[in-house]
Amino acid sequence: MNKRNNYGLSIFFLSMLVVLLSACNTNEADSATNEEDSKDESIRYYESEKGTLELPLEPSRVVVAVRDYVGDVLATGVQPIGVAETMVFDAPYYQDQLEEVESVGEDTAISLEKITSLNPDLIITYAEDSYEQLSKIAPTVLFPYGALDYEERLLEIGNILNKEQEAKQRLEQFQEKVKNQKEQLSEILDQDTKVAIIEVTDKDLYLFGKTYGRGGEILYNQLGLEAPQKVEEVTEAEGWASISLETIPEYLGEADYILMGVREMGSDRKAEIQSSKLWTELPAVKEGKVYEYDLESFYFQDVIALDYQLDLLVDFFQSSEK
């Protein structure tokens, strides 16, 4: 009888042990699954130029390793921790938003050491030559500059940062503003108004079209104004063209308005041009319809920069027609 009881007890305890072990295994499996789910919830997948990337769901330490995407990141409401500094910190429309942001070097000479020290969770670039090194520091998204227009680029940056809604809202605000300003200008500008953009360096003269900054996006694509035909022809392929002093009347003679910029060390060249009859005899010059822009304000063409440029250009047109 005792043997039978002992045998029964043994079976009972063995059964309990099996149940306990099974429960432990189940808990461990559940724990592992929960951990895996937790990890999955903190990342998202993005199809990039370099294949599928794992990006943080809510990136909070973003480095923008090229200057031309800084405004797009800011427009989504994300403040980067580091940016390529070339002209960025001098742009008046970025300054308030970059007070606590660190430089990671010039566009063409970024500091990998500095970027590493910032411990980023996401890097954005278009520089193919530094991509491999950057991708060893943090997940790095590369997409070529110029492949997208300003609208598409902002929406793509919004996608990368998981801020699609914020990007769309910022875009809609800007487009509504353009619509209102365009209606106001229609009261003072004819439909066939011609505007040309010229920039002076110490040695060269450049014309700019629709796709190379300097206000071209606002003038031609947003406000619907036109460049003189010859300007449009020579800038269509690359967005810009180099011309000689002697050809100024040929390109700018039909312009009702002229935007003129001067790069560093171009002041003497500007004075030479403005004292030439080739310049003083231009209709726009005679009528005082020349707007001298600073490069820091008109270089970039993201939605923040364009919003700022829109205000300046509308003020210029309105004051010119008073």
- How many domains does the structure of the chain reveal? 2
| Residues 125 and 209 both lie in one domain | no
pLDDT tens-digit series, residues 189-198: 988 899 999 9
Does residue 140 sit within a domain? Answer: yes
CATH number at residue 208: 3.40.50.1980
> What is the spatial distance between Cα 118 and Cα 102, in angstroms, rounded to a whole number?
9
Dmax (CA) for the chain in angstroms is 127
Tell me how far apart the terminal alpha carbons of the chain are, to the nearest angstrom: 117
Does residue 181 sit within a domain? Answer: no
| Residues 249 and 287 both lie in one domain | yes
- Domain range for 103 is 48-167
Q: Are 293 and 195 in contact (CB under 8 A)?
A: no
| Residues 114 and 205 both lie in one domain | no
pLDDT tens-digit series, residues 203-253: 899 999 998 889 999 999 999 999 999 999 999 989 999 999 999 999 999
| Residues 148 and 206 both lie in one domain | no
Does residue 32 sit within a domain? Answer: no
| Residues 158 and 204 both lie in one domain | no
pLDDT tens-digit series, residues 244-290: 999 999 999 999 999 999 987 888 899 999 999 999 999 999 999 99
Record the pTM: 0.83
Closest CA to 249 of 258, 240, 261: 258
pLDDT tens-digit series, residues 54-73: 999 999 999 999 999 999 99
Does residue 131 sit within a domain? Answer: yes
HSE-CB of 137 using CA atoms within 13 angstroms:
25
pLDDT tens-digit series, residues 134-148: 999 999 999 888 788
| Residues 263 and 305 both lie in one domain | yes
| Residues 246 and 305 both lie in one domain | yes
| Residues 124 and 222 both lie in one domain | no
